[in-house]
Chains A and B, each alone.
Chain A
C-alpha cells in the first residue's frame, strides 16, 4: 500500500474541490440532522429551548405504529409494482430484442423515453386527471369493457392501486431498457446455436439469456427499492398521501412531520432511520452489482 499513499498525493488536488463541496453541503447538514434527532426541537414552538434528550425520539419511533405503517406501506407499494415492472419490462425487452420489424422496434424503443423523461410532478397530475371519477379517461376505458366506474382517488385501496399504475407506467421502460442491455450481451454464436435447436422463446430465455439478465435484475431490485423509498413528487400532486394516509409512503410521511407538523427532532430521527436503510441498500448494490472498484 506504500505506492497507494504516493498516488494519494497526486489524486488530492483533483479530488479536493469535489470532496470539500460535498462535505460542506452534504455532510455538514447531515451531521446537523443527526444532532437534531437527539433533541426535542419543534418549529411550531419557537420559544421552547432545544433540549437534548438522547435516544427518546428513536425509542418513540420504535413504538410508533404510524411510522411502522408508513414503512410497511412503502414495502407493500414496492411489492405491488415491482412484479409488474419486471415482468412487463422483460416482455418488452424480448420484443425489442427479437429480429424483424425494424422500424416499429425503433419507434417503440424511442417511445419508452417518454415515461422516463416525464417530470414526476407531472406524472402525478396526469394520474389525477386520468383517474378522475367523473370525467377521467380510465373509467371511460374500463366502461367500454363493461366495468362500472370506480371512485379511484377517493378510496384508500383504489388510490393506492392508481398510484401504482402510474409508477408502473413511468418505470417499466427503465426495466425494459436494462433487460435489453443484458440481452445484447449474449454472444451471437451461442444465441444462434440455441435458436437452431429450439423454437420456443422461453427455453432460450431460461437456458441461454437468463444468466446475462441476472446482474441487471439485481440492480433493478435495489435501485427500484431506493426509488420507492424516495418517492415523493408524484404522490404530492396525485393524492397528497390521501385519502387519509392511504398513499403516504415514507418520504411523504417524513416531509409531513418535518414541514407540516414542524417536529424537526422527530422528523430528523425518521430521516436518519431512512438513511440507514439506504446505506444498507447501497452496500448491497456495491457488493452484488458494481464490483469494478473493488
Chain B
C-alpha cells in the first residue's frame, strides 16, 4: 500500500503546493514532539534553569536529577516492579488468550456472539468499575501490596486485547494445512500449537506489544492496590504532586525514565503498533 502511494497519483504538484505540504508536515512534527522534548530538556536542566522566568531554551545539561530520582526516590525499584508486572501479565494473557482466539476464529458454537461482546466491553469499561470491588476482595484475601493482585487485575484488560487481535489473525491463517493434518489424525490442540500458532505469530506479537505497553502505563489499579514496596512507576510519578515547591527536574527525570523505554520500543515496532491500533477501527 505504501509502495502504491509512492508512485504518485495525478499530475506533479507545483512548488508552491509542495512547500505548503512540507510546512504542514513540519508543524505536525513539531507539535507531536514538542511536549516530549520539553520534558526531556527540563529533566536535564539545573534547578534554577528549570524554574527560570521566562523559560530558557539553551542551558548546560546535568544528569543530577536522574541520579537522585533513580537512587534516592526509588524510581529504579518502581521501574523494576513495572517491568515484572508487565512481563507476567503479558505472558499470562497470551497463554490464556491465544487458544480462546483460535476457538473464536475456527469453531461455530452457541454464545459466540455474547462472548465476543463481553471481550469488547472489557476493552472499553473504565477501570474504576472493577477497582472498587477488587480492592475490597484483595483486602479480604490479603492481596493488597502484592504484585500478584496487579498481575491478575491487569489480565482483565489485556486478555480481551489479545483475543481481539489474535482472532483476526487466526482467521487469516489458511485452513488447508490444518485440514490436511486433521485427516492424518493429528489432535486439535497439536494442530493449534504446531500449525496455527506459528502462522499467527505476527498477531500474537502485536497483542503482546499492546499488553505490555498498557500494563506499563496503567495507574488507577496500581494506585489503589499497591503500597510502597510494590509501587509501579506511574504511581511513583504521582507521588511528587504535593507541596508548593515541586522538584521539577526530578519529576521530569522520572517521567523521562518511565516514557523513554516505551517510546523507543514503540518506534522500533511502530509498524505493528499502527496496524494493531487501527484494526477493528477500519474494518
Please determine whether chains A and B interact with each other in the same assembly.
Answer: yes
* A255 vs B9: C-alpha distance when bound (angstroms): 52
Residues of A within 8 A of B115 (CB): 15, 19
* A281 vs B100: C-alpha distance when bound (angstroms): 24
B155 touches A21 (CB 8 A): yes
A117 touches B263 (CB 8 A): yes
* A83 vs B53: C-alpha distance when bound (angstroms): 34
* A87 vs B30: C-alpha distance when bound (angstroms): 18
Residues of B within 8 A of A62 (CB): none
A5 touches B100 (CB 8 A): no
Chain B interface bracket (under 10, 10 to 19, 20 to 34, 35 or more): 35 or more
Please tell me which one of the listed residues A30, A129, A236, A285 contacts residue B129 in the complex, with CB atoms under 8 A apart: A30
Please tell me which one of the listed residues A123, A130, A251 contacts residue B128 in the complex, with CB atoms under 8 A apart: A251
A15 touches B99 (CB 8 A): yes
* A76 vs B276: C-alpha distance when bound (angstroms): 29
B237 touches A14 (CB 8 A): no
Give B contacts to A, CB under 8 Å. 1, 4-11, 13, 18, 21-22, 24-26, 28-29, 31-33, 35-36, 38-39, 42, 50-55, 95-97, 99-100, 102-104, 106-110, 112-113, 115-118, 120-122, 124-137, 152-153, 155-156, 159, 163, 168, 171, 188-189, 192, 213, 216-217, 219-220, 223-224, 233-234, 237-238, 241, 248, 251-252, 255, 258-259, 262-263, 265-267, 270, 273-274, 277-278, 280-283
Give A contacts to B, CB under 8 Å. 1, 3-5, 7-8, 10-11, 13-15, 17-19, 21-22, 25-26, 28-30, 32-33, 36, 91-92, 95-102, 104-105, 107-123, 125-127, 129-130, 134-137, 140, 143, 166, 169, 173-174, 177-178, 180-182, 184-185, 188, 191-192, 195-196, 199, 215-216, 219-220, 223, 226, 229-230, 232-233, 236-237, 240, 250-251, 254-255, 258-259, 264, 267-268, 271-272, 274-275, 278-279, 281-283, 285-286, 289-290, 292-294
Q: Identify 7 new A-B residue pairs, CB closer than 8 A, beyond the known A18-B163, A135-B53.
A: A8-B107, A95-B24, A117-B213, A123-B35, A196-B11, A230-B125, A255-B131
